[in-house]
Amino acid sequence: MKKSISIIIAAVSFMALSCSKTDTDSLGLKQSVEKGVSDINYALKTISGTQDYQILIANSTPVNSEEKGSYADSITLDMVAGIYDFQPDFFHFHNFFIPYPLFKKTGTSDQMIVNLPQKLIFHPGHLHKVNPPDTLLNNDFTIKASDYHYFYSWLNNFDYKLTADFTLDNNDLGSLEVISASEGATGSSYYSKYTFTEGYNINVSFQSGDTTISSFTLLKDDDVLMKETVVFTGTDFHRRERQYILTIGNVDIKRGSGIDSIQVYLDGVLQQKAGARIVDSTDSDGSIRHHRDILLTFDDGTTTNLSDLLDPVHEVLKSIVDSLHSMNFAKNIVDYIAIGINYCMHYH
């Protein structure tokens, strides 16, 4: 199970890297970095102005629920397929962490299509604590899950997949894909991707075990704008960073356990005069979206901190990638709805 997820992650990463070299071939290192950072800043500023982005940051933190972790069952798409409208039934109480039936089946479909008020999406706490006035809101937001399963067994073994599109007032708000699996003590892995309506997408991947690999990639269509990969060996206090790779356009910054210094590549060619130094704060997880910074020295002797170049969009990058790592939209919204529908149809 975990092996299949790892193969998918590797394949996606390889495809992304194979498309990363664009029209910057004729530029020098400094100009290539400046262009790469400019593309990243423009992309993230564009994304931050969309309602797609608002969906992710609204679900960036877990929703408080004392009993949320008590559900231990398996759900397949065919068990929850259909068209559902938000119509809470406050007269039938559930002995369950979903207190009331929230959705009424209004049609048939081979997908799970859910219509609900946008307030419950952009403010997910309202979905978990529905009040009678919420029934007066228009069902203007639609979740259309074309693929969904959650296979669960004891000892934290599970296999999960979600592919869903979103619309607001019939306007496209992008799509989310999540693939996740765990084999308990032996490790877990996941891949999560949001495709925005502006032609950008961001994906994250993670695999734990004796070796832990964490990465994120920002793309415009199939072109890689930024990619970061951190590889650790060992666990807890014995964990050690074995490899670090940061790609900005056609520039790669690499550090490995067998390399005395950080290496900088332009179009795959090692730069002999350029240099880089990685700066970490205390308790860094090795990512530039948190505490890591990189001091770049160019061929002409000038230097710059990567954090200064990315400062305008650093918080946007952090919020998107962290949200995709947490997968809280899937947990807080889609899973909560699917579990409630399944419980009402089969156990109530």
Residue 19 maps to a domain:
yes
Structural domains counted in the chain: 1
CB 209 within 8 A of CB 184: no
Residue 65 maps to a domain:
yes
CB 249 within 8 A of CB 189: no
Short-list 321, 322, 294, CA closest to 307: 294
- For residue 64 the two structure tokens come to 């408080």
Long-range Cβ contact pairs of 211-218 (< 8 A, separation 24 or more): 211/242, 212/239, 214/285, 214/286, 214/287, 215/13, 216/287, 216/289, 216/321, 216/324, 217/13, 217/16, 218/40, 218/43, 218/44, 218/317
What average pLDDT score do residues 126-152 get?
92
Residue 209 region, left (φ>0) first, then alpha (ψ -120 to 50), else beta? left
- What is the pTM assigned to this prediction? 0.86
Residue 157 maps to a domain:
yes
Q: Is the pLDDT of residue 69 over 90?
A: no
Residue 259 maps to a domain:
no
What is the pLDDT confidence band of residue 15, given thresholds at 50, 70 and 90? very low
pLDDT single digits (tens) 241-300: 899 999 999 999 999 875 657 899 999 999 998 889 988 877 778 999 999 999 999 988
Q: State the distance between the two ends of the chain, measured CA to CA, in whole angstroms.
A: 32
Q: Is the pLDDT of residue 333 over 80?
A: yes
Residue 278 maps to a domain:
no
Residue 306 maps to a domain:
no
* Residue percentage of the chain with pLDDT more than 90: 60
Residue 197 maps to a domain:
yes
What is the pLDDT confidence band of residue 17, given thresholds at 50, 70 and 90? very low
CB-count burial class (<10 Å; 0-12, 13-18, 19+) for 290:
middle
pLDDT single digits (tens) 23-61: 445 679 999 999 999 999 999 999 999 999 998 888 766
Residue 175 maps to a domain:
yes
What is the pLDDT confidence band of residue 235, given thresholds at 50, 70 and 90? confident
For residue 40, which phi and psi values (nearest 5 degrees)? Answer: -65, -45
Which domain does 105 fall in, by range? Answer: 2-29+38-225+316-346
Instruction: Count Cβ atoms below 10 Å from residue 204 Cβ, excluding itself.
Output: 23
